[in-house]
Structure 1
């Protein structure tokens, strides 16, 4: 039975999170009450550990057998480390899917070239683009995960991916999550608590300046939270007014104190423009980091971890000690 469950879990994701393992264990005892563990409070606790062990064992056997979906994540024996490490985030449900039934790599490559031609037209058929992007998802993931191309190379081959609707669609394909809906919902959930923390944080001029802006309504609360988050966590700033030297982040264009335009920067190049507000731009930046399989920069890791695991609650079962402590403070009734 455990072997069958391990196979079913692998079909969904080769790297199940703790929450996903727990969900399977709970579903097992709900469907078959006779399997409840009399020694635990909930009746499924021991099943969780058995499933975790079985899933790890099943994954190891497949890796030894040369499963392509797992071989891309094997540690290299080479002493030389890649400068552009890209890893699967544990929340990615469809990290490296197989090609559609009846489709070969050559078939999908033909469809990709058709997609490129369509994107060059003056009047683009977006319904056709949606269909072709969906059909070629597995080819795109294979290229991004195995070849680790530069962002500029992905732009050349998959230009449609750098439009807002396609970023949202790709993120949903990868994580089964609605990007904007989940992000804004989580942002609003913690909004007031974060602003209280910002006001209580003395000695940080940038936070003081931002919280004062609340009184004159220069920015929305969402914008102030996101602009202040990296300062609060003592990371490098997520958004700046200049792009020189920026590897990952946002570039703002201001008219006085008002933000009139925002662009997304990846690998020191602007990849998305004409975003009118910071919250939408942060959502698109998160979407692109997932879609392009790019790790969070070390000097901004806590900022992105809070966005992913606190605001979006994706992979939130495993947090750094800093983010875990912060989330506990946010959930308290009093600061």
Structure 2
């Protein structure tokens, strides 16, 4: 009918319900909590693919479909919540009508597998036994790596339940899940959460933009002494490792954020307590001379470590770029929020460097990305 004379389809309630059920189910597979813009995009695609479903008298033809889909997603979440879906049950309301927490516990950084169900045929008791087996294996000098890989994979749902529901301290997680802090397992857990290779996505994106970022930083050195001191040691012979470090360390200054409580520099003989004091999330750079972060690239780095909750949780990382990549993995694995004082810096790393959730950037990050893609500064 539509192809012949442009007639619109008369959609009765049963037909509309079937359409909404199928579209909402497909949306749920990608995101249980889609944003308004995402729902709007789906409504537009629905009408574009099936123009006979356009709403008569509507300017765009999809306005009511958008609201219907929003309500349908709410009903679908309620249905799965009653059925016991962990990702939704965690956000249920008490009988008094108050929320169990101050914030919704849901995927916030494009996690595709934020809070999975337990594997078929396995209960929490069964998975706890596997966790204990994993603990015993980690105590050995010669560990069975294949066993650790297998047990970490099978206990993923139990681990996420503990981390997301209980919000334990990092030290408590490390006591119960020491294998999670192995470099290989950080990458594997990140892959389970986001379906993206941690190291490859980080370094591919970083190397793509390093030359352009350094060029843009130099333009701003006249008004930023921090960027100037960071870039002064760089010349044609500077290693790629230090160029990466300059691009990452200069990002907060370019975005006009304060990294003073994030980047810490100390000497090799400094105490951990003094070096990590008041650092909730940070990078600790250990140099031969110590000092401040100014002219940091002029000094020889002994080691770089990741700090969480005033404790070093991962050391022997070698260089700044590797430490940043490891930190990004840990923040996802441990469900830790980005530092508020560096929200744009971490958003840029996630969405521009790593390409995770890149379709929904803040205006500030999107503006920097656009400038990076221009031919001239």
Same fold (TM over 0.5): yes
Answer yes or no: is 1:8 the counterpart of 2:26: yes
Q: Is the 8 A contact 1:168 1:178 kept in 2?
A: yes
1:214 paired with 2:234, answer yes
Q: Structure 1 residues 220 and 85, CA, compared in 2 at 3 Å: closer, same or farther? A: farther
SS at match of 1:264: strand
Question: How far apart are the structure 2 equivalents of 1:282 and 1:163?
Answer: 15
Structure 1 unaligned blocks of 5 or more: none
Please report the TM-score for the alignment, with normalisation by the length of structure 1: 0.86
Is 1:225–2:244 an aligned residue pair? Answer: no
| Aligned-residue offset at 1:303 | 1.2
Cα distance, 1:211 vs structure 2: 1.5
Deviation of 1:116 after TM superposition, in Å, equals: 0.3
Matched residues in 2 for 1:20 and 1:211: separation? Answer: 41
Match of residue 178 from structure 1:
197
Q: Which structure is higher in RCO with an 8 Å CA cutoff and minimum separation 6?
A: 1
Asked if structure 2 preserves the Cα contact closer than 8 Å seen for 1:162 and 1:272, the reply is yes
Q: CA deviation at 1:321?
A: 2.1
| Contact 1:296 1:304 (8 Å CA) reproduced | yes
Alpha-carbon offset, residue 78 of structure 1 = 5.8
**Equivalent-residue separation in structure 1 for 2:126 and 2:73 (angstroms):** 33
For 2:155 and 2:357, the matched residues in 1 are separated by 26
Q: Does structure 2 conserve the Cα–Cα contact (< 8 Å) formed by 1:211 and 1:224?
A: yes
Relative distance call for 1:101 and 1:207 in structure 2 (3 A) is: same
User: 1:56: how far off?
Assistant: 4.7
How far apart, CA to CA, are the structure 2 residues paired with 1:178 and 1:108? 26
1:269 corresponds to: 311
**TM-score normalised over the length of structure 2:** 0.77
Contact persistence 2:54–2:61 (CA under 8 A): no
- Is there any run of 5+ residues in structure 2 with no aligned partner, and where? 1-18, 266-274, 290-298
More displaced 10-residue stretch of structure 1: 254-263 or 64-73: 64-73
1:36, distance to aligned residue in structure 2 (A): 8.1
Question: Which residue does the alignment assign to 2:188?
Answer: 169
Contact in 1 for aligned 2:281/2:309 (Cα 8 Å) = yes
Q: For the residues of structure 1 that align with 2:286 and 2:198, how far apart are their CA atoms? A: 24
- Structure 1 residue 258 displacement after superposition: 2.0
Decide which of 135, 150, 153 is 1:116's aligned counterpart. 135
**Are residues 1:239 and 2:249 paired?**
no
Match of 1:313 in 2: 355
Counterpart position of 1:260: 302
How far does the alpha carbon of each residue in 1:86-123 deviate from its partner, in whole angstroms, 9 at most, with x for none? Answer: 75324000000000000001000000000000000111
Q: 1:133 aligns with which of 143, 146, 152?
A: 152
CA contact (8 A) 2:92 2:100 kept: no
Partner of residue 323 from structure 2, selected from 276, 281, 286: 281
1:268 Cα deviation from its structure 2 partner: 0.9
The Cα RMSD (Å) is 3.3
C-alpha displacement of 1:194: 1.0
Moved more, 145-154 or 19-28: 19-28
- Aligned residue number for residue 204 of structure 1: 224
Contact 2:279 2:307 in 1 (8 A): yes
Name the CA distance, whole Å, in 1 between partners of 2:134 and 2:127.
10
| Aligned pairs, number | 329
